[in-house]
Structure 1
Amino acid sequence: MSYPAIIGFVMMIVIVWVLLKQKTSTMFAFTVIPIIGAILVGASPTQIGNYLTKGLGMTTPVALIMLFSLPYFLLMADTGFFNGIVRRILKHINLSPVVLTCLTLLVAMITGFDVSITSIYLITIPLLLPFYQKLHMKPIILVFLTTVGAINTFDVPWSARMLRSASLIPNIPGGANHLFSMMFPTQVIFTVLLFAMAAFLGFREQKRIKKECATTDMTAGKVDISDIVDDPELARPKFFWINVTLTVLVILALCLMPSVPSYYVFAFGLVIALAYNFPDLKQQNKLLKKYAASLLPIMPAILLSGVVVGVMQYSGMMKAMVNTLVKIIPSSMGPWVYIIIAVFSTPLMFIFTNDTWYYVLMPIVVSLMKAYGVPSDIVIITLFMNMGALLTPIAQPQIYIGVDLTHGAVDLSQYVKYAFIPIWGMSLVWIGLGLLTGAFR
């Protein structure tokens, strides 16, 4: 194992350990530990500066999205927007834990069509959290199922993951659509299984709630429209349909105008919503100061995760780590290297970022498998669904948004401990389905 690989592995293990054990703040882990790693591999101050510039450039758009999207949805919540949706839903359905878990997965999948993990969390969790609270369901299930819904939208042809992967097969016209069509049969079966899992979680919660409420008032958790109370000062019921229209337009703009930066779409929506809901400038400033408290320290943590990405990717650590992992596998198992890596993709994502997975690991494995006659597109779709990315904020910093939106009910370490085994299990099921359908062979 090369020296840069050793430093890279140690650095990532230390960062994950201190985050899960809550030994230091996230900002400290992302800011200090990577710089120590860069110094240990012999990087000069100028080189470290370049790593930081490139890495922070990757996470700045995500941080900017949060700067405007979180206040937008907090503003909508204050106006009674989400409460209004809840009231209208309750008029038409009899809500139960099983219905709610399946609904969570469905909403996350629908909102995921704009291929923004950020918007999936920002829309699904604030919308459905009041239901979970009223039914006495665990909020961690809401975060988990929202994440699962996000995973199921990874492979739409216009997603960044799919476009990155398609760049590895330039000789195939319409590479993204080609890869999607190869995965589609597996995706259909997988989606059915996801809804079965969501229903199981809802059924299990229903049993737990009935058991815990056996000696108390069973009607305490019943969702009633009269229980949903708006803020008397900030509620804007007269503007409900205007707010619905604006939010739909924002989501459509995210989906249909990919050339426009997402953060600008949310910024535009925020200033328009403030203008007609709260025309008084003093009240606008008061609300913005209130929302600013929700941005700290989550937004800086998202931004500073770019320090880890920049140092790992541009110092050569990540490439050395990938080469080490590939060499560990015995040569006798050469034809199965891509499947072996796919099997361990979930834990491996704790030491990778999305970019290094698609731009560093995949090309190496694709080249290696050519010697064994395995087509490039088969290798790509087998390694494509790196579900473990949504377990670590280093690969997917938007996870912080998801847990933060529960208002302290769920923290990062709780989420990772709860979701790790299920998500790894889902990854193994995905691989198994792909092998059974012949897509990965």
Structure 2
Amino acid sequence: MLSILGFSMIAVFMYLIMSKRLSALVAIMLVPIIFGVIGGFFTELGPMMQEGVEGIASTAIMILFAILYFGIMIDSGLFDPLISKILKIVKGDPLKIVVGTAILSMTVALDGDGTTTYIITVSALLPLYKRLGMNKIILATVAMLSMGVMNMTPWGGASAMAMASLNLDASELFLPMIPVMGFGLIWVLVVAFILGKGERKRLGVVEIQHNHTNSEANSELAATTVSRDYRRPKLVWFNFILTIVLMASLIIDFMSLTILFMIAFAIALLVNYPDLKDQQDRIAVHSKNALAVVSIVIAAGIFTGIMSGTKMIDAMAITLVSFIPESFGPFLPVIVAYVSAPFTFFMSNNAFYFGVLPIIAQAADAYGISAAEIGRASLIGQPIHVLSPLVAAAHLLIGLVGTDFGDLQRFAVKWALGTVTVMTIAAIILGVI
């Protein structure tokens, strides 16, 4: 009965989200409560939910301060010199322009926000694509491929959901994935080189006036991102060093990621915006993005708490294991790496990571495969996920570039699938899965 109740809850949860009957935030809290009551656990739900929320509190705090930190870095103009340098180097060479697109989008995507990544990348480089007559779908494709890899950061969404649903911390789930992401980024550069070489062959190298294009791009960038009043060009080197130290500290793992981001944000905010009014303005600007991600992670504590506390997840796993051929058991991480691609394309990350992933992880436990390993494998499908029409930022990108969604998907999907394959092979070789 618990298994039937659990699968019914997942089905209702996924239906409500995918049909847009309820928001993910509301559904992830109310649906498990209703099914918990139906299962006869009314008096026990309070402690279950409390335990679930407490278990992911640290992850939610880390995500909050990570979003605020990278927001400050973008506001202060940390990436402005990179944009100017790329525009100066690429000039009229389509090959350099496409590779520059990859480098810029990878860097900006550090904040894990697709909206910001697409706005800055397209605003800076679309004038060049237009002037040379380059295929704008290439611009969108390269930006999406970069975002597909960088979306695996803990503050990007997918990792946060995986950590929340499996009750893992970033050192267990994310840190082993860093070299795998590195291989994914190398693949993106390879794709950019291939596509850029094709454009160079088609168009040749065009001599253009750098200053005109640069000013055109920068004017669009200024209009679509943040007021120049908040730029801090004199602090670029300080912000760069601070970010490098932060990234190194994350890899060394000598302190909690939550504490590291809290300290780094406090330093960045104080140094870049010593005026209290400016600090309040910058926090207010980024609070919308932060609230959208953090609220769903905290709310997921209710979902995971009830799933675990009622033992529904255990019953569902037993049922699922009974349908998996024993010979397939050891290959579950590889299967999950590929299955996560279509799953997260046709359903939201919320539905997959909170609805499907815990069941798979529990089933994998029967074969001696850890939840962390399954969680890592589940992230590898993100390059396909960003192509989904369910991703709001994808629609923004389509609007900015001015192309058709279907055309972009047909053009980009093979390259995105290549990213998934490269990262899966890298993860196996490195022992991550």
CA distance in 1: counterparts of 2:73 and 2:124, whole angstroms: 20
- Cα pair 1:55 1:307 within 8 Å, conserved: yes
Which residue matches 1:240? 236
- Cα pair 2:148 2:383 within 8 Å, conserved: no
**What letter corresponds to residue 146 of structure 1 in structure 2?**
M
Give the Å deviation of 1:4.
Answer: 1.8
CA distance in 1: counterparts of 2:233 and 2:375, whole angstroms: 48
Structure 1 residues 45 and 106: CA distance shift in structure 2, 3 A:
same
Give the Å deviation of 1:391.
Answer: 8.7
- Cα pair 1:11 1:33 within 8 Å, conserved: yes
Which residue matches 1:99? 99
**What letter corresponds to residue 121 of structure 1 in structure 2?**
G
Give the Å deviation of 1:150.
Answer: 5.9
Structure 1 residues 11 and 201: CA distance shift in structure 2, 3 A:
farther
Identity, % of aligned positions: 18
Establish whether residue 36 from structure 1 lines up as the match of residue 27 from structure 2.
no
Give the Å deviation of 1:364.
Answer: 0.4
Structure 1 residues 228 and 355: CA distance shift in structure 2, 3 A:
same
- Cα pair 1:65 1:262 within 8 Å, conserved: yes
Task: Spell out, residue by residue over 1:234-263, the C-alpha distance to the aligned partner (whole angstroms, 9 max, x if none).
Answer: 22212221222222222222222x242323
CA distance in 1: counterparts of 2:23 and 2:273, whole angstroms: 36
The alignment's TM-score, normalised by the length of structure 1, stands at 0.64
CA distance in 1: counterparts of 2:191 and 2:75, whole angstroms: 33
**What letter corresponds to residue 217 of structure 2 in structure 1?**
D
Which residue matches 1:224? 214
Where in structure 2 are the equivalents of 1:166-177 lying within 5 Å? none
Structure 1 residues 103 and 227: CA distance shift in structure 2, 3 A:
closer
Give the Å deviation of 1:294.
Answer: 3.4
- Cα pair 1:63 1:303 within 8 Å, conserved: yes
Q: Which structure 2 residue ranges, 5 or more long, are not aligned?
A: 127-135, 160-167, 345-350, 400-404
CA distance in 2: counterparts of 1:125 and 1:420, whole angstroms: 20
The alignment's TM-score, normalised by the length of structure 2, stands at 0.65
Which residue matches 1:317? 312
CA distance in 1: counterparts of 2:275 and 2:257, whole angstroms: 27
CA distance in 2: counterparts of 1:71 and 1:191, whole angstroms: 24
Aligned-partner SS, 1:22: coil
Structure 1 residues 82 and 277: CA distance shift in structure 2, 3 A:
same
Residue of 239, 262, 265 corresponding to 1:267: 262
- Cα pair 1:79 1:234 within 8 Å, conserved: yes
Where in structure 2 are the equivalents of 1:7-406 lying within 5 Å? 7-46=5-44, 48-94=45-91, 98-100=98-100, 102-103=102-103, 121=112, 126=116, 129-136=119-126, 142-148=143-149, 163=172, 196=190, 224=214, 227-229=217-219, 231-256=227-252, 258-329=253-324, 333-339=325-331, 342-343=334-335, 345-346=339-340, 356=358, 360-366=362-368, 385-387=377-379, 390=382
**What letter corresponds to residue 132 of structure 1 in structure 2?**
V
Q: RMSD across aligned C-alpha pairs, in angstroms?
A: 5.2
Aligned-partner SS, 1:297: helix
Q: Which structure 1 residue ranges, 5 or more long, are not aligned?
A: 112-118, 166-175, 211-217, 367-375
**What letter corresponds to residue 364 of structure 2 in structure 1?**
M
Which residue matches 1:213? none
From the two aligned structures, give the one with the greater helix fraction. Answer: 2
- Cα pair 2:125 2:217 within 8 Å, conserved: no
- Cα pair 1:338 1:383 within 8 Å, conserved: no
Give the Å deviation of 1:77.
Answer: 2.0
CA distance in 2: counterparts of 1:327 and 1:320, whole angstroms: 11
Task: Spell out, residue by residue over 1:259-307, the C-alpha distance to the aligned partner (whole angstroms, 9 max, x if none).
Answer: 4232322222222222222222233223323332333333212221222
Aligned-partner SS, 1:81: coil
Give the Å deviation of 1:28.
Answer: 0.7
Structure 1 residues 390 and 339: CA distance shift in structure 2, 3 A:
same
Give the Å deviation of 1:356.
Answer: 3.7
Task: Spell out, residue by residue over 1:204-257, the C-alpha distance to the aligned partner (whole angstroms, 9 max, x if none).
Answer: 9x79xx9xxxxxxx999x96256325533222212221222222222222222x
Aligned-partner SS, 2:229: coil
The size of the alignment, in residue pairs, is 372
CA distance in 2: counterparts of 1:26 and 1:281, whole angstroms: 35
**What letter corresponds to residue 60 of structure 1 in structure 2?**
A
- Cα pair 1:105 1:149 within 8 Å, conserved: no
Structure 1 residues 120 and 10: CA distance shift in structure 2, 3 A:
farther
**What letter corresponds to residue 12 of structure 1 in structure 2?**
I
CA distance in 2: counterparts of 1:10 and 1:290, whole angstroms: 40
Structure 1 residues 304 and 130: CA distance shift in structure 2, 3 A:
same
**What letter corresponds to residue 73 of structure 2 in structure 1?**
M
Give the Å deviation of 1:140.
Answer: 7.6
Which residue matches 2:133? none
Structure 1 residues 352 and 321: CA distance shift in structure 2, 3 A:
farther
